[in-house]
Chains A and B, each alone.
Chain A
Amino acid sequence: MVKKEGEMATIEISCVEVWRQISDYLDDEISPEMRERMEAHFKACAHCTAVLDGTRNVVELVGDGRVFQMPDGFSKRLYKKLQKLP
C-alpha cells in the first residue's frame, strides 16, 4: 500500500476504507469530503484505481440493455395471453 503524503488538508484513508466506499463513490452517494479523500488516494494507489476501474466496467457491462434480451416472440406470446383473458 504505497501512499504519498496527502495534499494539503486532505486526510488520508486506507485501501480498505476505499473499497468500502467504491460503490457509493460510483453512484455519487458520498460526501464531497470523502470524494476528495478517495480521489487523492486513487492518484497514489494503482491497486485501488484498478479496483475502481474494474467495478465501473462491471456496472457498465451489466447495465447494457443487451445482457438480458427477451426471447424471440416474447411480446407476441404475452399479447396473446392477454387476449385470451375472459
Chain B
Amino acid sequence: MSMTQSQLRTNEAELIKSVCAGEREAFYELVRPYERMIYATAISVVRNPADAEEVAQEAVLKAFSHISAFRAEAKFSTWLVQITYNEARMKLKKARPHLYESIDDQQQNEEGDFWPKDYADWRPIPSELLEQKEIRQVVQNAINSLNPSYREVLVLRDVQHLSIKETSTILGISEPNVKTRLHRARLLLRDSLAPGIDGSWIKGQPYRKARAW
C-alpha cells in the first residue's frame, strides 16, 4: 500500500530530523525512493550513464551536507531534483562550455506554431516493446536529441511525472513556459519516433511516410 502525500511528508520530516541528529542511515532511507528520479534528472542533462551516475552521487552528497538548509515547506523530492540539476548543469558547463552557452540562444525560438511533419497513424505501442534494450535506446536517443530546454521539461513532466508547478519551481521558469516547452517537446518527439513505431525500428526497414506535409 502506498503512503498518502501527508504520510510521506511526515515520514520524511522524521527522517530529516534523524539525519540532522547525525543518523546517516536515515539519510539513505530518505533518498532511496528518489534514486531513479535523481538518475533520470542527471542523465537528461549530461546524456551519458557514467556522467549521470557521478552527478547523482555528487548531488546526493551535497544534499546530505546541506540538509539543514532544507525548508520544511518545500517538497523533499523537488529539493533533491533541484540540487541534481545544478550539479548536472555545472558538470556540463565545465565539460562543454560552448554547448552550454548555446542553450540560451536556442530558447528564444519558442514562439510560432509547430507543424507536424506528417500524419502517420500510430497503433498503440505494445508495452513489451520496452523490454528490448534497443527500443529503450531508441527512445532515449530521441529524448537526447531534443534541445536541452525542451528535454528538461519533458523529463520532469513525462518521465518523472512531476506537476507543472513543481517543474516550474525546479527549472525557475513560468508555468505557461513549462506548458509551451512541453508541448514542443512532445510534438518533436512524436515526429522523431513516429517513423519507427510500426516496427521498422526493429526490422531496420526504411520508413514510408504516410503523408508528406
> Is A71 among interface residues, defined by CB-CB distance under 8 A?
yes
> Is B91 among interface residues, defined by CB-CB distance under 8 A?
no
Tell which of B121, B130, B143, B186 has the most Cβ of chain A within 10 Å: B186
Q: Which of the residues B49, B60, B116, B179 comes within 8 Å of A51, measured between beta carbons?
A: B116
Nearest chain-B residue to A60 (Cβ)?
B125
Main secondary structure on A side of the interface with B:
helix
A-B contact count (CB 8 A): 128
Q: Which of the residues B53, B60, B64 comes within 8 Å of A71, measured between beta carbons?
A: B53
Interface size class of B (residues with CB under 8 A): 35 or more
Nearest chain-A residue to B193 (Cβ)?
A58
Chain A residue numbers with a CB within 8 Å of B120 are 50, 54
Chain A residue numbers with a CB within 8 Å of B197 are 54, 57
A-B contact pairs, 24 of them (CB 8 A): A19-B114, A20-B113, A20-B183, A22-B187, A24-B179, A24-B183, A29-B179, A53-B121, A57-B122, A57-B190, A58-B158, A58-B186, A58-B189, A61-B125, A66-B130, A67-B139, A68-B39, A68-B140, A74-B39, A74-B53, A81-B57, A82-B27, A82-B64, A85-B65
5 shortest A-B CB distances, which residue pairs?
A23-B183, A68-B40, A47-B119, A54-B190, A50-B119
Q: Hey, which bits of chain B sit against chain A, CB under 8 A?
A: 24, 27-28, 31-32, 35-36, 39-40, 43, 49, 53, 56-57, 60-61, 64-65, 113-116, 119-122, 124-125, 127, 130-131, 136, 139-140, 143, 154, 158-159, 161, 164, 179, 182-183, 186-187, 189-190, 193-194, 197, 210-211
Q: Hey, which bits of chain A sit against chain B, CB under 8 A?
A: 16, 19-20, 22-24, 26-27, 29, 46-47, 50-51, 53-55, 57-71, 74-75, 77-79, 81-83, 85
